[in-house]
Structure 1
């Protein structure tokens, strides 16, 4: 049966660090990751989206986590077509033209940075999150295919932010595209009823892995600050509504990652704990992470 792993989108977010979730003695860089990895079996490393880490950094990540732990690593913003500030590039690349040569160089350095996680068996997947401006069509499909070609031989997951990719009339074609690319479709949970709301489609496109990112249900999705877009406390009822889809993902993939991106404070960690408890109750023969919640609190 599939391993169903719960975690959060990042472990160094300022709101989480200042929330009190990390106890005294575990608030330095090493202590935070060791504490987190003792409570959850997967985490999204989102910092490479903003700046490329050194291989020495990711090697330390591997050393501070147990065997079987998973890092899902976001691709650098330049690789996914997001606006990228010069400061987000390595210093020696900031004056380069924004062309294919620069993309190749950034990809090479990103792959070098992630390699220690792959070597240690801790890489879950590369996560290519595309911007809302990437609407479906031949040019977009070619761009995604080009990204996949660069990442040939790596586990590769795709999150679209333009809702048309997962409209009912196009869902089958999008799933087929990703399956042909050997790319994991990332399902998302967002508020519904807004122009930018993402349909909650959850197809399995690779037998290796399925991923769901829970962004919260803020009415400000698609607008405002990060805190506006992602602030949400999941209720038990909201999370229970995902259980049938999680079961379907677990039936079709070897591993399922449920990642919580709702902020602020410790809301994501609390939601992950609640989802773990719900799954332990409803699918006892599938493997959710066995470690107890550090606080015993349910999601608010």
Structure 2
């Protein structure tokens, strides 16, 4: 039976202050506060810029021993280079301190551009460049990835296919392709904004239990625009712990 972890995509948002975060909580304590209530978080600052080793060390040291940080891969690799000629970019990314998270390192997320269609040769060459000993997941945002060939290729290389819930924006694929199911909940009815109703959370809890029969499950709420993400994450975790 796999484990199930629930968290949010990012944690430093102004709209959470005085709401999820108590009024007066200093910003540098926000991750520690979240880590007391959830079991994982998705680092998304690494998508926009390389972080420093000291930053990864701080995140590692200020979270509980059983806490896990998923890390979002650099957009330089996925969006600017579009997975081509990325050997140096990958070396810089993993050399920036990502691996220093040690046992707290969760899946490394590679979010692809919505305009990137499936190219078996390109994806195969990218998968072969990824370092072993790290769990990798891919979030495709083009419907051409929704084919058996793409899923079989992910299985061959041990790559997880992200379950992405967005209100009609990108395809949602619920295919298990590795020992990780990585779920990103972008908003139930409005992208990045709307919350998840109790019945919807009940359904997601049941899906998580089913997936956990085959893999470790990581769920991240990305509906942060109106501050719903942490509340929905806590509510889902209570359902799974109950």
- Within 5 A, what are the aligned runs for 1:245-284? 245-253=207-215, 255-281=216-242
Specify the alignment match of 2:107 in structure 1. Answer: 125
The answer to whether the 8 A contact 1:233-1:262 is kept is yes
Instruction: Detail structure 1 runs of 4+ shifted over 3 Å in the superposition.
Output: none
Specify the alignment match of 1:112 in structure 2. Answer: 95
How far did 1:19 drift? 4.9
Question: Please, which runs of 5 or more residues in structure 2 have no aligned partner?
Answer: none
Radius of gyration: which is bigger?
A: 1
Specify the alignment match of 1:202 in structure 2. Answer: 174
Specify the alignment match of 1:242 in structure 2. Answer: 204
Number of residues of Structure 1 aligned to a counterpart in Structure 2: 240
Deviations 1:61-99 (A, max 9, x none): 101111121111001101113489xxxxxxxxxxxxx97
Question: Please, which runs of 5 or more residues in structure 1 have no aligned partner?
Answer: 85-97, 220-228, 282-300
Secondary structure class of the residue paired with 2:162:
strand
Specify the alignment match of 2:125 in structure 1. Answer: 146
Secondary structure class of the residue paired with 2:56:
helix
CA distance in structure 2 between the aligned counterparts of 1:28 and 1:274, rounded to whole angstroms: 23
CA distance in structure 2 between the aligned counterparts of 1:151 and 1:83, rounded to whole angstroms: 15
Match 2:57 to one of 36, 59, 62:
59
TM-score, L = length of structure 2: 0.90
The answer to whether the 8 A contact 1:19-1:266 is kept is no
The answer to whether the 8 A contact 1:19-1:265 is kept is no
Residue 163 (structure 2) pairs with residue 187 (structure 1): yes
Deviations 1:227-264 (A, max 9, x none): xx3111110112222234222210001x2101100122
CA distance in structure 2 between the aligned counterparts of 1:45 and 1:238, rounded to whole angstroms: 25
Specify the alignment match of 1:21 in structure 2. Answer: 20
How far did 1:182 drift? 0.8
The answer to whether the 8 A contact 1:187-1:212 is kept is yes
How far did 1:26 drift? 3.1
CA distance in structure 1 between the aligned counterparts of 2:238 and 2:34, rounded to whole angstroms: 17
